[in-house]
Amino acid sequence: MQRIVRLALLALPLAGLSFAADLTGNWLAAEDMKDGTLRRTYLNLVQESAARVTGYIRTTQLVYSVANSTATGPDAFTLTASMSDGKNERRATYIVKLEGEVLHVSVQRAGRGAATELLAHRVPIGEGAYPKRIELPALHKVPYNGLAKTPPMGWNSWNKFAGRIDDATVRAIADAMVANGMKAAGYEYVNIDDTWEGDRRDAQGNITTNNKFPDMKALADYVHGKGLKIGIYSSPGPNTCAGYEGSYGHEEQDARTWAAWGIDYLKYDWCGARNIYKDEEMQPLYQIMGDALQKTGRAIVFSLCQYGRQDVWKWGPDVGGNLWRTTGDIRDAWESMAEIGFNQDALASYAAPGHWNDPDMLEIGNGGMTDTEYRTHMSLWAMLAAPLLAGNDLRSVPQPVLDILTNADVIAIDQDQAGKQGRRIWQAGDQEAWIRELAGGAQALAIFNRAGKDANVTLNWSDLGMKKAPKSARDLWLHKEVRLGKTGYSGNLPAHGVVLLRLGK
Ligand code: GLA
Q: What single string gives the DSSP state of each residue in 301-338?
A: EEEEESTTGGGHHHHTGGGT-SEEE-SS---SSHHHHH
For a ligand 1 pocket test, name from 85, 156, 161, 194 the mutation site with the most ligand atoms within 8 angstroms of its C-beta: 194
Cβ of 266 below 6 Å from ligand 1:
no
Percent pLDDT > 70 in the chain is 96
d(CA 452, CA 445): 21
Distance 389 CA to ligand 1 centre (A): 14
What are the b/e assignments for 86-118, b being 16+ CB within 10 Å?
eeeeeebebbbbbeeeebebebebeeeeeebeb
Res. 13: pLDDT tops 80: no
User: How would residue 211 be classed by pLDDT, with cut points 50, 70 and 90?
Assistant: very high
Exposed / middle / buried, residue 409 (Cβ in 10 Å: 0-12, 13-18, 19+): middle
Ligand 1: distance of its center to the CA of 348 in Å?
24
The packing angle between helices 251-261 and 216-225, to 10°, is 50
Sign, CA dihedral 458-464-468-470, equals negative
Residue 489 is predicted with a pLDDT of 96
Which atom of ligand 1 lies at the shortest distance from residue 325's CA?
8
Q: What CA–CA distance (Å, rounded) separates 338 from 442?
A: 26
Strand 455-460 relative to strand 443-449, pairing: unpaired
Q: In one letter, which amino acid is 356?
A: W
Q: From ligand 1's centre to the CA of 245, what distance in Å?
A: 14
At CA 60, angle to CA 57 and CA 61, rounded to 5? 90
Q: What pLDDT sits at residue 21?
A: 67
For the segment 165-185, the average pLDDT, to the nearest whole number, is 98
pLDDT at res. 107: 96
Catalytic residues: 269, 329
**DSSP label at 163?**
G
Is residue 364 in contact with ligand 1, taking CB distance under 6 Å?
no
Mean pLDDT of 370-386: 99
- pLDDT higher than threshold 70 for residue 2: no
What DSSP state is assigned to residue 213?
A: -
Contact call for residues 60 and 76 (beta carbons, < 8 A):
no
Looking at the predicted structure, is the pLDDT value of residue 164 above 50?
A: yes
Nearest CA to ligand 1 atom 3: 329
Q: pLDDT at residue 7 above 80?
A: no
- Which percentage of the chain shows pLDDT scores above 90? 94
Of 1-5, 322-326, 340-344, 417-421, the one with minimum mean pLDDT is 1-5
Which atom, in ligand 1's list, is nearest to the CA of 360?
9
Atom of ligand 1 nearest to the CA of 195: 12
The protein residue with its alpha carbon nearest to ligand 1, atom 9, reads 329
Q: What is the pLDDT of residue 3?
A: 43
Span 350-365, pLDDT tens digits: 999 999 999 999 999 9
Ligand 1 binding pocket includes 241 (Cβ within 6 Å):
yes
Amino acid in the structure at residue 422: G
CB atoms within 10 A of CB 328: 13
C-alpha 162 to ligand 1 mean position (Å)? 9
Q: CA 360 from chain center: how many Å?
A: 7
Query: What is the chain's Cα-based Rg?
Result: 27
Ligand 1 contacts CB of residue 60 (under 6 A): no
Start-to-end CA distance of the chain, whole Å, equals 99
- CA distances to 416, 434, 436, 505 from 465, in Å: 22, 12, 13, 14
Q: What is the Å distance from ligand 1's center to 357 Cα? A: 17
At residue 117, the pLDDT reads 96
Per-residue pLDDT tens over the stretch 78-102: 999 999 998 999 999 999 999 999 9
Confidence of residue 16 (pLDDT cuts 50, 70, 90): very low
Does ligand 1 lie within 6 Å of residue 268's CB atom? no
Total Cβ atoms within 10 A of residue 348: 19
Whether the CB of 264 sits within 6 Å of ligand 1:
no
C-beta 193 within 6 A of ligand 1: yes
**pLDDT at 113 (0 to 100):** 85
Atom of ligand 1 nearest to the CA of 361: 9
User: Are residues 436 and 413 in contact, defined by beta-carbon separation less than 8 angstroms?
Assistant: yes
**Model pLDDT, residue 10:** 40
- Give 3-state DSSP helix, strand, coil % of the chain, rounded to 5: 30, 30, 40
Q: How confident is the model at residue 15 (pLDDT cuts 50, 70, 90)?
A: very low
Ramachandran angles phi, psi of 354, nearest 5°: 95, -15
Average pLDDT value for residue range 279-297: 98
Whether the predicted pLDDT of 17 surpasses 80: no
Write the DSSP symbol of residue 345: G
pTM summary value: 0.95
**pLDDT confidence of residue 112:** 80
195 conformational bin, left if phi > 0, alpha if psi -120 to 50, beta if neither: left
Q: How far is the CA of 29 from the centre of ligand 1 (A)?
A: 24
How far apart CA 327 and CA 240 sit, in angstroms, is 18
Confidence at residue 9, expressed as pLDDT on a 0 to 100 scale: 40
Q: How many residues does the chain have?
A: 505
DSSP 169: H
Say if residue 33's pLDDT is above 70.
yes
Ligand 1, atom 8, lies closest to the CA of: 329
Q: What average pLDDT does this structure show over 183-199? A: 98
- Mean predicted lDDT score pLDDT of the chain: 95
Average pLDDT over residues 452-465: 97
Compute the average pLDDT of residues 120-132. 96
Q: Is the pLDDT of residue 424 over 70?
A: yes
Q: How far is the CA of 269 from the centre of ligand 1 (A)?
A: 7
Task: Name the band, by pLDDT with cuts 50, 70 and 90, for residue 235.
Answer: very high
pLDDT-derived band at 74 (thresholds 50, 70, 90) equals confident
Q: How confident is the model at residue 20 (pLDDT cuts 50, 70, 90)?
A: low
